[in-house]
């Protein structure tokens, strides 16, 4: 591990290629996130991966890998727990349930909001956990949308804009989430950059993952940000969903089919294919 909490491009590429080539490997979980997965994109053998499709799951920085592989190798990848996440001692049952539904079954399922959530550093002290009551999904814009799931971590997805690794937004449900390093102003800027893309008109709905408390994003601020974007006034937007950098963490497909519905009766999210 170097001064960037990483290792050489060559060593990481070798690991990925070995894992995809090994017929005894059914799934690949990234150990943790970081900042530089996009260093690998030019060096991956996408034909090799396409001939050996298998589960690739992780979140945060792994968004760059997941979307690029989905775009270039044409198979579904996943945003969900890292390998390190499985060491969580308390409050992990929801994460296990939706990992199984997404990665170990072919049946469509509904993503139900968790009862509680946590934003504490579980990796510092497993016995000192703070669980908060979940107020459920936030309906920012009502409506119905169905499409191919794209995205997750906004800065990592943004880093793919204008490259051959861009997954495209045609007929898509856009997944957006950020961590404590961002703030409402930066999230607004990232969202605006996606709106400026020629294919943004293909977005059929937006799911926003739960923000960490240190981001200082609130329901009111997010609603105001969305309300300033006329381009998304007529598509459904549901926020406070169990993906991102808080716990528990649902697994969602990148390149799967989602259907979202939001009206006065509430919000519902269905994973149709994964």
Catalytic residue at 60? yes
**Cα separation of 90 and 96, whole Å?**
12
Please give the Cα distance from 133 to 31 (Å, whole number): 29
Tokens read off for 17: 């290629």
Q: Which entry of 177, 178, 215, 257 is annotated as an active-site residue?
A: 177
Helices (H), 38-92: 46-51, 62-73
Cis peptide before 248 (omega within 30 of 0): yes
Write out the two tokens for 255: 């390149």
Using DSSP's 3-state secondary structure scheme, residue 230 falls into: helix
245 is known as an active-site residue: yes
Catalytic one among 37, 245, 257, 274? 245
The active-site residue, picked from 60, 95, 152, 172, is 60
177 is catalytic: yes
First to last CA, the chain: 33
- By annotation, the residues acting in catalysis are 60, 177, 245
């Amino acid at each position: 591990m170097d001064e960037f909490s990483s290792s050489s491009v060559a060593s990481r590429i070798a690991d990925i290629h070995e894992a995809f080539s090994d017929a005894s490997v059914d799934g690949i979980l990234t150990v943790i996130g970081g900042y530089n997965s996009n260093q690998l994109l030019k060096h991956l053998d996408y034909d090799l991966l396409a001939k050996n499709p298998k589960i690739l799951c992780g979140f945060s920085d792994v968004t760059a890998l997941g979307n690029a592989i989905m775009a270039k190798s044409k198979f579904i990848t996943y945003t969900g727990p890292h390998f390190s996440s499985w060491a969580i001692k308390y409050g992990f049952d929801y994460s296990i349930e939706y990992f199984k539904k997404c990665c170990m079954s072919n049946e469509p399922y509904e993503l139900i909001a968790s009862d509680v959530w946590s934003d504490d550093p579980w990796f510092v002290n497993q016995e000192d956990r703070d669980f908060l009551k979940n107020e459920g999904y936030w309906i920012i814009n009502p409506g119905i949308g169905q499409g191919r799931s794209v995205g997750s971590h906004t800065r990592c997805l943004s880093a793919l804009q204008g490259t051959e690794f861009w997954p495209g937004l045609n007929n898509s449900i856009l997944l957006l989430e950020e961590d404590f390093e961002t703030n409402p102003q930066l999230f607004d800027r990232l969202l605006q950059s996606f709106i400026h893309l020629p294919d943004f008109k293909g977005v059929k709905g937006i799911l926003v993952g739960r923000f960490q408390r240190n981001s200082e994003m609130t329901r009111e601020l997010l609603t105001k940000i969305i309300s300033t974007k006329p381009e998304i006034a007529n598509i459904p937007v549901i926020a406070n969903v169990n993906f991102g950098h808080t716990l528990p963490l649902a697994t969602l497909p990148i390149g799967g089919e989602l259907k979202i519905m939001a009206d006065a009766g509430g919000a519902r999210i269905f994973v149709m294919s994964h």
